[in-house]
Amino acid sequence: MADIKLDKITKDYGKHKGVFDLDLQIKSGEFFVILGPSGCGKTTTLRIIAGLETPDSGRVYLDDVDITDYPPKDRNMSMVFQNYALYPFMSARDNIAFPLKKKKMSKQDINRKVEEIAETLSISDILDKKPGQLSGGQRQRVALARAIVKEPKVFLMDEPLSNLDAKLRISMRAELKNIQRKLGITTVYVTHDQIEAMTLADRTAILDGGKLVQLDSPLKIYEQPATIFVAGFMGDPPINFIDVEIENSGEQSIIHVGSQSFTLSGNIPVKKAVLGIRPEDVRVSEKGLKAKLYFEQVLGSRYIQHFKLDGLDKDVLSVSTHAQYKDGEEYYITFTEGKIFLFDKETGKRIL
């Protein structure tokens, strides 16, 4: 068991920086991701859970025990830092063994444990090298091994993959997920990379300016974003936002997009809104909004079309798995019904 609860945590660094009134409940065994842009308070939150930072107010609980005033060493948590923080003059083996030596474990047991974990992480052959002689990915695994070998109740990871190249990041993601599943350790993982959140998280908390804006499974957040900010943060290529004007006519609403319009069923109670539509929900069809394709990006496995619409200053993007369009041609595009979001212009909250 290792449930973590943050109860109304505030850490105020002034000028609206820090974290504010943050409530989080992280379930035992869960892979929990804290996601948000730079400066939104991710590291601060993680450091408060680790005990490296004291909140101004609010309490931290581990399995219903109030640990707010416990020093880090009494929390039974392991933290993996972005820069790995390995001891440069120690071999990988000694780095991994370090927390066990501190626990006064016998030499034999230490050796056995280090060999075991090295095997799991495929680093047995580099154990006698120093960090300086290792690649980023290997260092990352040594740091991970050092965290795992402690057998903590909780793993805390602060952007542990951000220093790796794209290819290694993909394989390390799979490896991390695999290890976490195998060990079943409650994991709190911080990242600004929405793809990491999508692929790793059981649940994701999205922070903006130190405040929680949405908490759910990543897919649910993708499909039902609570605000413009969340919708714009999740998705690649990013969601299209279009300022629209709305006219109600009984059972239907007319949505004005630039100089054109289309109808939506239902009565939408606002006159102006921001329409959000994901590129995969923009379709070329027989009729719809007239759109000129001025550029198609070829990515190999998929194609991104940039459309210009009369009266709109931003492109509308669509994405497809086949190249089927010609630059410079006119097409008609439609937005898949049921996938159209409308957001309140003032509050940013989703109204449809």
> Which residues sit at the interface with Mg ion, rule CB under 5 A?
43
Kindly tell me which of 51 and 99 has the beta carbon lying closer to ligand ATP. 51
Question: Hey, what long-range contacts does 113-119 have (CB within 8 A, 24 or more apart)?
Answer: 113/149, 114/145, 114/149, 117/145, 117/148, 117/149, 118/93, 118/145
**Closest separation between CB of residue 69 and Mg ion, Å?**
24
Binding to ligand ATP by residue 18, rule CB under 6 A? Answer: yes
Cα separation of 217 and 341, whole Å? 19
CA torsion angle for 108, 113, 114, 115 (degrees, to 10)?
90
**Closest separation between CB of residue 192 and ligand ATP, Å?**
5
Binding to ligand ATP by residue 157, rule CB under 6 A? Answer: no
Binding to ligand ATP by residue 258, rule CB under 6 A? Answer: no
Binding to ligand ATP by residue 131, rule CB under 6 A? Answer: no
Q: What is the residue-wise DSSP string for 287-350?
A: SSEEEEEEEEEE-SS-EEEEEE-TT-SS-EEEEESS----TT-EEEEEE-TTS-EEE-TTT-BB
Kindly tell me which of 11 and 278 has the beta carbon lying closer to ligand ATP. 11
Stretch that binds ligand ATP, among 34-42, 288-296, 302-310, 318-326 (CB under 6 A): 34-42
Kindly tell me which of 52 and 254 has the beta carbon lying closer to ligand ATP. 52
Binding to ligand ATP by residue 17, rule CB under 6 A? Answer: yes
Q: Using an 8 Å Cβ cutoff, are 171 and 202 in contact?
A: no
Could you say which of 6, 33, 40, 234 contacts ligand ATP (CB under 6 A)? 40
Kindly tell me which of 14 and 300 has the beta carbon lying closer to Mg ion. 14
**Closest separation between CB of residue 40 and ligand ATP, Å?**
4
Exposed, middle or buried, 181 (CB in 10 Å: 0-12/13-18/19+)? exposed
From Mg ion, ligand ATP, none, interface partner of 44 (C-beta below 5 to 8 A by class) = ligand ATP
Q: Which amino acid is at 217?
A: S
Largest separation between any pair of C-alpha atoms in the chain:
79
List of residues contacting ligand ATP (CB under 6 A): 13, 17-18, 36, 38-44, 192
